[in-house]
Amino acid sequence: MPMLPRPTVFIETYGCQMNVSDSELMLGKLAAAGYDAVDAPDGADVILLNTCAIRDHAEQRVIGRLGELKRHMKPDSVMGVTGCMAQRLGPRLLESAKHVSLVIGPDGYRSLPSLLDGARQGQRVSATTFDLEEHYEDFTPRRFDKVKAWIPVQRGCDYKCTYCIVPTTRGSERSRKLSDVVRETAQVVSEGMTEVVLLGQTVNSYFDGTHDFADLLRAVGTVPGIRRLRYTSPHPNDFSDRVIAAMAETPTVCEHVHLPMQSGSTRTLKRMRRRYTREGFMECVARLRAAIPSIVLTTDIIVGFPGETDEDFEETLSACREIGFMDAFTFKFSAREGTPATRMPESETVSDAVSGERLQRLVDTVRARTRDMNLGLLGTRHEILIEKPARRGDLLQGRTRDFRTILVGGDTSLIGTYMTVEITGTTGHTFTGAPVAARAALPMAG
Ligand code: SF4
């Protein structure tokens, strides 16, 4: 009896690192169920889109892509939609896209193989039940990256900011056991990786019933073989003195924090229900810098939130000038169905033109500050971890501990290794660097 070929699965991931990590978990689960992952949709037995619902634009992209992918399907291929958009829309997606057979929310991946078996016999299913115990501990993620590992430590979020769909699509917050996170960290070290990134919606509110985020940083940061420990995304309110002390006292914790500010106006922050004020955010920044003077900050900012006045926006600009973020992810407010912000009075809507103008001024302000800071780094030396080939040219992309991107010459055999470089140039955003011979025992910057 000739052996049937193993079924193939193609997965396309949208959105945040948590989704990348979920795709790795799904591929691991399917590999254990006999599937082979392929890098293109053509002729794949299963095509999965792991989706994001954070902004309307993200969902429109998926709807367009679902249409495009139809022509890559074989007659018996199965198309599935997973992730936050699947959780938000559920059966509505089956109605609107007849070639989609599976709609699975972020807590439903344990039954993926059996649901796929049903779909391959013609069933069409939507599975969006939350499971607050689920952390997929027994899954073996099939990692896309061979240099650093995404390690989820928490799922869901309890903050409920008025513009955010995440609590709706990922449920309430729950944390993995510290011992499971440490076990996974040791596993990735045994696979040759030296950098891990701990993932959570508000990762520094981590609590497994016994251990908090400070305990987690100290435990993961001292796993033999780990050289760099990062985490994303924290919430400003959860930087306790214990957490900041653990960051400062654990040498592997990198000197970079992505600290979402969202707005520099206390009035707007209140309406966003961010649960801190401008002063509270500034105080958090000051405490981080007092404990780790070389720390580098990046952030997320929304402009055009309902009711945002010119004065509110000026406060966002002034906060950026005062803090000096190395970089900022900046967005126009996007109303998400089902979030409290959509129930704010129509009269408070900020027009797309005004939002667009504010977005441009914000980008210019952050870029100008970043450029000034980066020009000041010419000639300084940094240890970089070579991550991958650069997008342009035949250079390699390396990352400093404080999250700066430095492009260097060299062949791909250097990927995954560390190198000391001297910064030779900057575009204002990324840098070029030249390797420094080991003999040069000059002081390192940052
Ligand atoms: S903290 Fe706020 S913005 Fe972040 S995931 Fe939770 S609800 Fe969304």
Please return the burial class of 373, using the count of CB atoms within 10 Å of its CB with bins 0-12, 13-18 and 19+.
Answer: middle
Using the mean position of ligand 1's atoms as its centre, give its distance from the Cα of residue 46 in Å: 32
Mind spelling out the 3-state secondary structure of 85-150? HHHHHCHHHHHHCCCCCEEECCCCHHHHHHHHHHHCCCCCEEECCCCCCCCCCCCCCCCCCCCEEE
Helix (H, G, I), strand (E, B) or coil at 307: coil
Q: Which tokens is 3 given? A: 């052996």
Predicted pLDDT of residue 440: 45
d(CA 76, CA 65): 19
What 8-state DSSP symbol labels residue 204?
Answer: G
Residue of 160, 206, 272, 301 best suited for mutating to test ligand 1, as the one with most atoms within 8 Å of CB:
160
What stretch of H or E contains 241? helix 241-249
Contacts of 217 (CB under 8 A, 6+ apart): 229, 231, 243, 246, 247, 250, 253
How far apart are the two ends of the chain, measured CA to CA in Å?
64
Residue given tokens 């619902």 in the structure block: 53
Nearest-CA residue for atom 8 of ligand 1: 164
pLDDT at 443: 42
**What does the pLDDT read at residue 288?**
98
pLDDT, position 222: 98
> pLDDT by residue for the chain (446 residues), tens digit each?
677 889 999 999 999 999 999 999 999 999 999 999 999 999 999 999 999 999 888 999 999 999 999 998 999 999 999 999 999 999 999 999 999 999 999 999 999 999 999 999 999 999 999 999 999 999 999 999 999 999 999 999 999 999 999 999 999 999 999 999 999 999 999 999 999 999 999 999 999 999 999 999 999 999 999 999 999 999 999 999 999 999 999 999 999 999 999 999 999 999 999 999 999 999 999 999 999 999 999 999 999 999 999 999 999 999 999 999 999 999 999 999 999 999 999 999 999 999 999 999 999 999 999 999 999 999 999 999 999 999 877 899 999 999 999 999 999 999 999 999 999 999 888 999 999 975 444 444 44
- The dihedrals phi and psi of 435, each to the nearest 5 degrees, come to -60, 140
- The phi, psi pair for 191, rounded to 5°, reads -90, 5
Query: Given its phi and psi angles, is residue 104 left (phi above 0), alpha (psi -120 to 50 degrees) or beta?
Result: beta
Q: Return the amino acid letter for 226.
A: I
Best of 201, 232, 239 for a ligand 1 pocket test (most atoms within 8 Å of beta carbon): 201
Q: Distance between CA 366 and CA 170 in Å, rounded?
A: 31
How far are the Cα atoms of 11, 119, 187, 406 from residue 19, in angstroms, in the given order?
11, 23, 21, 26
**Domains detected in the chain:** 8-127 (3.40.50.12160), 381-440 (2.40.50.140)
Q: What is the pLDDT of residues 259-314, one digit of tens each?
A: 999 999 999 999 999 999 999 999 999 999 999 999 999 999 999 999 999 999 99
**Ligand 1 center–CA 24 separation, angstroms:** 23
Cross-strand partners of 79: 47
Q: Cα(123)–Cα(98) distance, rounded to whole angstroms?
A: 12
Ligand 1 atom closest to Cα of residue 233: 4
181-211 core/surface letters (b: 16 or more CB in 10 A; e: else): bbebbeebbeeebbbbbbbbbbbbbbbbeeb
pLDDT attached to residue 150: 98
Give the number of other Cβ atoms within 10 Å of residue 28's Cβ.
Answer: 19
Q: How far is the CA of 296 from the centre of ligand 1 (A)?
A: 22
Taking alpha carbons only, the member of 59, 52, 63 closest to residue 17 is 52
175 bridge partner residues: 154
Q: Check: CB of residue 153 under 8 Å from CB of residue 216.
A: yes
Which residues pair with residue 196 across a beta bridge?
149, 229
Q: Half-sphere exposure (CA, 13 Å, Cβ side) for 26?
A: 32
> Which long-range contacts link 209-214 to residues 24+ away (Cβ below 8 Å)?
209/175, 210/178, 211/178, 212/240, 212/242, 212/243, 213/238, 213/240, 213/243, 213/246, 214/240, 214/242, 214/243, 214/245, 214/246
What's the 93 CA to ligand 1 centre distance in angstroms? 24
Which pLDDT does position 170 carry in this prediction? 97
If you measure from the C-alpha of residue 294 to the centroid of ligand 1, how many angstroms do you get, rounded to a whole number? 27
Ligand 1: residues with CB < 6 A are 157, 159-161, 164, 166-167, 201-202, 235
Q: How far is the CA of 365 from the centre of ligand 1 (A)?
A: 25
